[in-house]
Structure 1
Amino acid sequence: MADRAAKLAAQEEKARREKERQEFMAAQELETLRRAFKRLDKNGDKAIDVDELLAELEFLGHSLKPSEAALTIWEVDDDADGVINWDEFRQIFFRIRDDCQAGGCEPRKLFYVIEFLMNDKNLSGSMDLDECCTLLYGRYGKAVIDEIVTEVFAGVAPDQKSVSFSTFVNIQKKAAKKISDSSSGLVLSSGRMLPQVKDLKDRLDPTLAHLFHN
């Protein structure tokens, strides 16, 4: 009886610690997300507009037309006011992150910007390669990402292997195309089966469709 009680107490303590760990990680993630919002909110008016998005992308060395930036905002602007406030920003991130994990087709252009900024820890406009790979393994699979990263960084010295935003998008473009070109009966990282269909690359991530066409 005493052993059973001790075992139960140990299980409860383990569950309590795991809950605390999860809550701590969630709080950290939310704070990192808030910093990304503040970084995009250049004028401090608690909303992100097209000009602010373009300014950040320019800093990241990623060229985007104003019309494309406007579309990026419009795709996720639920109240259609032309800007993204904090509540929308937070909801966008968690909704699309969950959609990515499920292999869904939510618009991801702004999500990729948010995700990159959250991982640009020293505000340098680049992301650590190892962290980038770890992030994308769960989305596209380790084998796919490792092969693409080897290709993208061929001939680059180990100490220079940081990931720019354009490279971050390019790796995912290549990963989506590689999956679309593979045989039928695809298994996504989420475990969902996806049959081979025409224009699968667009269905996997329609927001990257323009990147597949010259």
Structure 2
Amino acid sequence: MATAAARERFARKNEAAELKRAFDAIDGKKDGKIDQDELGRLFIKLGHTTRLSDIRDMIWEVDEDCDGSLSWIEFQAMYHRCRNDLTGYEPRRLFNVVQFVMNDKESSGRVSLEDAMQIMYLRYGRGGLDAQLEEIFGTSDLNSGKTLSLTEFLHSLQQSQVKQLQSRVTAKTYKPPPLQTRSKRLSP
């Protein structure tokens, strides 16, 4: 029987292969870069409507060398930054699209709950998997046959991320614990 560490290594290797497959699927020109035209064509293919300015912003948010496109290195860096982000403040719009493409293994334009399980397991662990599936798909039942289009998937992820950010304690929402009065005075 495989150990937990061996299963984790296998899952990470599969995640890396799926990430490369997603990059290649978006890189329509096969020039090793993803630009706004290629991302726009992906959205059209998947039936997702978005503004050109939003597509430009998705690229701009993670384009480290400011050349208007994403190289494989920038793409990987964006993915790993977002996957490991505990604050929730890392730009996620392109990351969410990439998650969809990674989960849509048959390029059907829909992601099933079963397809999403492996990658979500890596991100949220065994304990958080069911809750995350419930949050995005509305169920964690593998027999439900539930699938989501890109638009539905992005909407669910955005709602989930907004809810997580709103539940965080900030300087405005922090309430200090009540002061406890001492019943006995300490003598010097």
TM range (shorter): 0.7 to 0.9
Once the 2 structures are TM-superposed, how far is the Cα of residue 37 of structure 1 from its aligned partner?
0.5
Q: 1:64 is matched with which residue?
A: 50
Counterpart CA distance in 2 for 1:50 and 1:62 is: 14
Q: 1:162 is matched with which residue?
A: 147
Contact 1:74 1:82 survives alignment (8 Å): yes
Matched to 1:83, the amino acid is S
Question: Secondary structure of the equivalent of 1:75?
Answer: helix
Matches within 5 A, 1:7-46: 18-46=4-32
Matched to 2:159, the amino acid is K
Greater alpha carbon shift after TM alignment, 115-124 vs 17-26: 17-26
2:105 is aligned with 1:115: no
Aligned pair partner of 1:146 in 134, 142, 147? 134
Question: Secondary structure of the equivalent of 1:48?
Answer: strand
Contact 2:78 2:95 survives alignment (8 Å): yes
Question: Secondary structure of the equivalent of 2:49?
Answer: coil
Counterpart CA distance in 2 for 1:97 and 1:25 is: 14
Give CA deviations for 1:88-115 in whole Å, capped at 9, x if unaligned.
111110111101xx13301001101111
Once the 2 structures are TM-superposed, how far is the Cα of residue 180 of structure 1 from its aligned partner?
5.9
Contact 1:132 1:163 survives alignment (8 Å): no
Q: 2:183 is matched with which residue?
A: none
Counterpart CA distance in 2 for 1:55 and 1:23 is: 34
Stretches of structure 1 lacking an aligned partner (at least 5 in a row): 1-13, 152-157, 187-193, 200-214
Question: Relative to structure 1, is the Cα distance of residues 178 and 89 closer, same or farther in structure 2, using a 3 angstrom cutoff?
Answer: closer
2:69 is aligned with 1:83: yes
Q: 1:127 is matched with which residue?
A: 111
Structure 1 length as normaliser, TM-score? 0.65
Matched to 1:119, the amino acid is N
Q: 2:185 is matched with which residue?
A: none
Once the 2 structures are TM-superposed, how far is the Cα of residue 147 of structure 1 from its aligned partner?
6.3
Once the 2 structures are TM-superposed, how far is the Cα of residue 175 of structure 1 from its aligned partner?
2.4
Question: Relative to structure 1, is the Cα distance of residues 25 and 68 closer, same or farther in structure 2, using a 3 angstrom cutoff?
Answer: same
| Structure with the higher helix share, 1 or 2 | 1
Aligned pair partner of 1:105 in 75, 78, 89? 89
Stretches of structure 2 lacking an aligned partner (at least 5 in a row): 174-188
Matched to 1:63, the amino acid is T
Q: Give RMSD over aligned pairs.
A: 3.1
Question: Relative to structure 1, is the Cα distance of residues 145 and 18 closer, same or farther in structure 2, using a 3 angstrom cutoff?
Answer: closer
Identity %: 34
2:82 is aligned with 1:96: yes
Aligned residues: 164
Once the 2 structures are TM-superposed, how far is the Cα of residue 196 of structure 1 from its aligned partner?
5.8
Structure 2 length as normaliser, TM-score? 0.73
Counterpart CA distance in 2 for 1:118 and 1:103 is: 23
Counterpart CA distance in 2 for 1:144 and 1:19 is: 23
Matched to 1:125, the amino acid is G
Question: Secondary structure of the equivalent of 2:111?
Answer: strand
Aligned pair partner of 2:157 in 148, 158, 172? 172
